Amino acid sequence: MVTAVDSSILLDVLTDDPRHRASSLAALRDARQVGTLLVCPVAWAEVRAFFVDPVVMHGAFADAGLTFDPFDRECADVAGAMWREYRSQGGKRTRLVADFLIGAHAAVRGGRLLTRDRGFYRRYFTDLELLD
């Protein structure tokens, strides 16, 4: 089973968020027990911004069983289609294409996303299994 992991979950753990760290860490562990954990380029970059040394981050990700997984054309096509739908329905630029890329990556790679931003993904990626 493949689970894509959003930056919100990773940052909860890595920044020792007092409100969400414990639940995010438990969710990561549960997902790892049943399969592979993937991180798309957007989530990877969002987390990377919090590290001075990329080697430290790469080591932490490797220890946690997190694997970098690049986008392909299918991910980009799905994200673009969902972005277009969002904008055509009056969606403002409060949501970035990056959010749609995270959702599309999860949908294409395995249909599961570990995130705290469930409302947005539930609306635009209706077939995506959302974990928290």
Low-confidence ranges of the chain (pLDDT < 70): 94
Domains of the chain in sequence order: 2-131 (3.40.50.1010)
Strands 129-131 and 36-39: unpaired
Q: What is the pLDDT of residue 114?
A: 97
The count of other CB atoms within 10 Å of the CB of residue 57 is 19
Q: What is the pLDDT of residue 123?
A: 87
pTM of the predicted model, to two decimals?
0.92
- CB burial of residue 16 (10 Å; 0-12, 13-18, 19+): exposed
